[in-house]
């Protein structure tokens, strides 16, 4: 591999926060997360089960503070979409905080990944539908789902494409930021 290609790949690495319904999709999220480790994606926001088990019984303020610390230093939030993801209070909080920080968003449908018992689940609503970004140029809000892309892990060959998807999401966010300096989109 050429030195230029190695340098380019290092520059393209993104710090990623994975947002998912922990109780329902932990093993499916692990499949995605572990593939990212082999593709040079730094998983700053991925939490193991033992850590979440300790935190989830704390006060709401403590949980929010803990999530905000997990988001620090990340540039892309990957929302792993299972059957109940859009109903998760914490997933929606993570998306909203990611928007406020200017993180790129990426949706990945994970319902077709088999869990530890070999079961798939049904596809639920995409939680990006619930979140808006204000477009100053026109004075109206755009749905995050209409700005950022969503892929299917199984049918979109996520193992091979995760890095490309993350970089594409970051490019979209970069375009939004440059537009905001020209009076375009900004995050609310």
Q: 60-71 vs 89-101: helix axis angle to the nearest 10? A: 40
Per-residue model confidence as pLDDT tens for the chain (188 residues): 444 333 334 334 568 899 999 888 988 998 998 886 555 555 554 455 456 667 777 889 999 999 999 899 999 999 999 999 999 999 999 999 999 998 999 999 999 999 999 999 999 999 999 999 876 666 778 899 999 999 999 999 999 999 999 999 999 887 766 555 444 444 44
Claim: this prediction has a pTM higher than 0.75: yes
Residue 133: which of 176, 84, 76 has the closest Cα?
176
H or E, element range at 58: none
User: What per-residue confidence (pLDDT) applies to 8?
Assistant: 36
Rg from Cα positions in the chain: 16
Residue 19: which of 113, 121, 93, 122 has the closest Cα?
93
Alpha carbon distance 100, 98 (integer Å): 5
Alpha carbon distance 13, 87 (integer Å): 30
Alpha carbon distance 87, 68 (integer Å): 20
Alpha carbon distance 157, 147 (integer Å): 22
Tell me if 140 sits within 8 A of 97, measured CB to CB: no
Give how far Cα 115 sits from Cα of 27, 94, 161, Å.
Answer: 6, 23, 21
Topology annotation, domain 3-186:
Rossmann fold (3.40.50)
For residue 75, give the DSSP letter.
Answer: -
Q: Which residues contact 95 (CB under 8 A, 6 or more apart)?
A: 19, 77, 79, 105, 127, 128, 130, 131, 144
Residue 110: which of 152, 145, 160, 161 has the closest Cα?
152
Domain boundaries, the chain: 3-186
């Amino acid at each position: 591999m050429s030195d230029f290609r190695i340098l380019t790949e290092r520059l393209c690495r993104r710090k990623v926060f994975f947002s998912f319904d922990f109780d329902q999709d932990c093993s499916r999220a692990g499949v995605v997360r572990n593939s990212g480790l082999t593709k040079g994606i730094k998983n700053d926001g991925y939490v193991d089960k033992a850590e979440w088990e300790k935190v989830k019984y704390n006060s709401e303020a403590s949980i929010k503070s803990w999530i905000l610390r997990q988001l620090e230093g990340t540039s892309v939030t990957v929302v792993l979409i299972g059957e109940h993801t859009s109903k998760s209070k914490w997933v929606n909080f993570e998306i909203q905080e990611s928007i406020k920080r200017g993180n790129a968003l990426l949706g990945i449908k994970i319902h077709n990944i088999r869990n530890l018992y070999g079961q798939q689940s049904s596809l639920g609503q995409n939680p990006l539908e619930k979140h808006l970004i204000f477009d100053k140029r026109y004075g109206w809000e755009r749905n995050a789902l209409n700005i950022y892309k969503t892929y299917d892990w199984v049918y979109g060959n996520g193992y091979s494409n995760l890095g490309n998807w993350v970089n594409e999401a970051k490019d979209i966010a970069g375009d939004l930021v440059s537009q905001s300096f020209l009076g375009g989109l900004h995050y609310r």
